[in-house]
Structure 1
Amino acid sequence: MKDFSKSAYNFSTISAGQKLTYSSFLVLMLAGWLTMIAFYFKETGFSVPSLVDYYRGSEERMLFPKTFYALWEVTHYHLFTIPVVFLILIHLFMLARADFVWKLGLLAASFTGMVLDIGTPWLIVYSHPVWAWGKFLGRLLLNGSFLILIGWPLWEMWAWRRPKPSRHPRPAA
């Protein structure tokens, strides 16, 4: 762990064993993401009206509104799991050669997506259906940042090549 605090410690300096370990985790996270997208598609679709139907119920789609207990159970589970997954992904992303502002922006997008994704179902059910737009935005932020947090490290570990120093330095002007 103390290696993470060294500024020279990044994806281009880690060992092959570390690359395989991190890559295995990231590939499994990608598989988890794909199953999540399939679940989204089956349960709620990819539209704001379908989110409203899913949470508030729909007679024509034969959906019951989500109960307090159902929301509570899902919220409880997600409050423990989503932050842990993102803690690990963001921790790994800190090894990337991205600018600090980029890293900070991705952290902010991830956190905002988590809050919206976990919190807006309550607002959709108990406040107003317009909050489905917040859920939709939360999903975009969460899934977009998730893919970047997985894809960028994999790309840096396996596809990115450090520029080689020139054998023929340019003469001073």
Structure 2
Amino acid sequence: MRYFVTGEQHRKSLLNALVLMFLGYILLLWVSNGLMYFHRMDLTADSVKLYYLGSEEQFVPPRSYEGMLEVSHFHLFSMGMLIVTLTHLMLMTDFSVRLKIWLSAATYVSAIADEAGGWLVRFAHPLFAYFKIAAFLMLELSLAALLAVVIFSMIQARLQMRGNIAG
């Protein structure tokens, strides 16, 4: 009864709508992340090597230490904030704890691996290009899974709220 007297059903509905809008925004971020990757490289090791190591024949300079450091500095903070927000939202879903742990771990590990991949190609060995590709794919898949889990849960909660209000 308190739920209806205090108006919590409206606040929860509004919160649900705001979270869904946020997730739509993050979905656009996810798409643009993929587009940026494929604008610079593709899923071949040669394209990754070219991007990070450059090519004298094609007049492509290698990525500089300073440039990579600036990108890493921004990515480490922003990806950390994005992942902690998405995993926090996922924790409030009804999915199993096992799924939550695995999906959270996969997302954090793949984000760090994706960032490290470029550094490893540039400064350790060109064969880390395969690692970079795998890390990118894992990051995109784990972010997509996180988004799907949370969006599904939010839509399900929204439908339940409508059912409760109608019933």
Bin the TM-score by the shorter chain.
Answer: 0.7 to 0.9
For 1:76 and 1:153, how far apart are their aligned partners in 2? 28
- 1:2-32 deviations in whole A, cap 9, x for unaligned? xxxxxxxxxxxx8211110110110000011
Determine what percentage of the aligned residue pairs are the same residue. 26
Please report how far the alpha carbon of residue 156 of structure 1 lies from its aligned counterpart in structure 2 after TM superposition. 2.0
Unaligned ranges ≥5, structure 2: 1-10, 161-167
Question: If each structure's helix is expressed as a fraction of its own residues, which one has the higher value?
Answer: 2
Q: Which of residues 102, 106, 119 in structure 1 aligns to 2:99? A: 102
For 1:113 and 1:55, how far apart are their aligned partners in 2? 19
For 1:141 and 1:24, how far apart are their aligned partners in 2? 25
Count of residue pairs brought into register by the alignment: 150
Whether the aligned pair in 2 keeps the contact of 1:112 and 1:141 (CA below 8 Å) is no
CA RMSD of aligned residues (A): 1.9
SS, match of residue 113 in structure 2:
helix
For 2:86 and 2:115, how far apart are their aligned partners in 1? 18
Displacement over 3 Å in runs of 4+: 59-62, 159-162
- 1:53-72 deviations in whole A, cap 9, x for unaligned? 11011245442111111111
Aligned partner of 1:101: which letter? R
Please report how far the alpha carbon of residue 114 of structure 1 lies from its aligned counterpart in structure 2 after TM superposition. 1.2
Alignment of 1:107-126 (within 5 A): 107-126=104-123
TM-score by length of 1: 0.79
Please report how far the alpha carbon of residue 44 of structure 1 lies from its aligned counterpart in structure 2 after TM superposition. 1.4
SS, match of residue 135 in structure 2:
helix
Q: Which of residues 17, 23, 33 in structure 2 aligns to 1:20? A: 17
Please report how far the alpha carbon of residue 34 of structure 1 lies from its aligned counterpart in structure 2 after TM superposition. 0.9
Aligned partner of 2:151: which letter? L
SS, match of residue 63 in structure 1:
coil
Unaligned ranges ≥5, structure 1: 1-13, 163-173
| Cross-structure match for 2:3 | none
Aligned partner of 1:129: which letter? P
Please report how far the alpha carbon of residue 81 of structure 1 lies from its aligned counterpart in structure 2 after TM superposition. 0.7
For 1:49 and 1:58, how far apart are their aligned partners in 2? 11
Please report how far the alpha carbon of residue 148 of structure 1 lies from its aligned counterpart in structure 2 after TM superposition. 1.1
Q: Which of residues 136, 142, 146 in structure 2 aligns to 1:145? A: 142
For 2:132 and 2:122, how far apart are their aligned partners in 1? 12
Alignment of 1:1-173 (within 5 A): 15-159=12-156
| Cross-structure match for 1:3 | none
Aligned partner of 2:71: which letter? V
Further displaced range: 82-91 or 118-127: 118-127
SS, match of residue 15 in structure 1:
helix
For 2:105 and 2:150, how far apart are their aligned partners in 1? 18
